[in-house]
Structure 1
């Protein structure tokens, strides 16, 4: 007999059929491009621009909230609706022109998604990023083929932390919440997962408004996505 090694799934995935992933801060580090778009839009309005580090703490609730936080920071006051709309339109133009110039995949993402997909698990993407940016980014990083469904922050009537996007994904894929997992880097992902009845797995390296992710009480914190794949020995008999 001799022993070989092949990947086995993490125990948290036992009995699961669908895995929902967040995008920004989970699969990709998009803050550099988001920060550049924020800076470009504020510069266009004659306002001071924040650092990339400051923008990192504003990401997670979708573009309208990102723009509002940036304006509030620049003005040191709540923005008027007209200025908010101008800034939003400017941001969408800047970000749309260069959504992946500085954005990078986190280590192990491609390998992990490919392996999970090969196992026959249904993978979906649930992000608060506007839907129009999802497919170009997935295509750019060659991840498109792994996902059955993707849902943006403007795809449905509600976005995370509301459970609607997660429940919608489960329904479309004909899965029960008990068969589903939500993986993300922020309290919004964990709150949405809990409200939807999904198992929640958290990553500590993304964008969570400066808060430790374990304070959101996920079912488990992973150090990286590659933890989903565990190497298990297989004993084979030779004659």
Structure 2
């Protein structure tokens, strides 16, 4: 096990961009939503830079791009409902698990670490994705973007998970791919580990000054 795990008992993971590459399915839902509204349709590259703050912000960014201005509330609501319907119909059609994820999760769980999932994705989509990839059994707890009153970069979801699992923040590690994960981890008093392959709005994750950067989750367990 990597030295960052010394003294740690809980490892919290982000989902999109950390464990799974969900942009292909998110992009399809965004494209269908905008197409239904007769707006221009973005490519996957644009959508990738919009992911990370939860579904409402993703929809707002897509509408702002299509309109060239912030959307009105009624349009935002209509578009969000359409997006949720399209994404909910096929959240795993094109989504893939990043290499090494299963091996790392299984090894950490087998070594006695408590694993939790803290994502800004709506809670209703978490279990279908975990079940689809056969990784739900290793997680003790999962928190979605709409589970609590606040989501990352707020530290609230992380502190909630630590409290629920009866660990102090100093015993916890946050693993993610974006500045929101790192900011939440730092604010919660967790150690932070960043992965450079995910979604960070086009910025190098090193700018967020995580405690560690690793090319793969396998580096945690080998």
Normalised by the length of structure 2, the TM-score is 1.00
Q: Which residue of 2 aligns with 1:182?
A: 174
The CA distance in 2 between the partners of 1:19 and 1:53, in whole Å, is: 30
Tell me whether 1:194 sits opposite 2:186 in the alignment. Answer: yes
> Secondary structure of 1:77's partner?
coil
Q: Which has the higher helix share?
A: 2
The SS at the match of 2:140 is strand
Larger Rg: 1
1:155 corresponds to: 147
Deviations 1:207-226 (A, max 9, x none): 00000000000001011100
The aligned length equals: 222
Indicate yes or no: 2:102 matched with 1:106.
Answer: no
Q: After alignment, is 175-184 or 44-53 more displaced?
A: 44-53
Offset of residue 229 of structure 1: 1.0
Match of 2:221 in 1: 229
Q: Which runs of 5+ in 2 are unaligned?
A: none
Q: Which is strand-richer, 1 or 2?
A: 1
Q: 2:136 — aligned with what?
A: 144
Deviation at 1:122, TM superposition (A): 0.1
Consecutive aligned runs of 4 or more in structure 1 exceeding 2 Å deviation: none
CA distance in 1, matches of 2:69, 2:168: 44
Q: Residues of 2 paired with 1:147 and 1:229: CA distance?
A: 17
SS in 1 for 2:192: strand
CA distance in 2, matches of 1:135, 1:21: 14
Distance (whole Å) between structure 2 residues aligned to residue 182 and residue 173 of structure 1? 14
Tell me what 1:129 maps to.
121
Q: 1-side partners of 2:162 and 2:221: how far apart?
A: 23
Q: After superposition, what is the alpha-carbon deviation per residue over 1:43-98, rounded to whole angstroms, capped at 9, x for unaligned?
A: 11111110000000000000000000000000111100000000000000000000
> 1:68 matched to which residue of 2?
60
**Partner SS, residue 50 of structure 2:** coil
CA distance in structure 2 between the aligned counterparts of 1:143 and 1:155, rounded to whole angstroms? 20
For 1:211 and 1:223, the matched residues in 2 are separated by: 16
1:22-53: per-residue Cα shift (whole Å, max 9, x none)?
A: 00000000000000000011111111110000
Structure 2 residue aligned with 1:235: none
Give the TM-score normalised by the residue count of structure 1.
Answer: 0.93
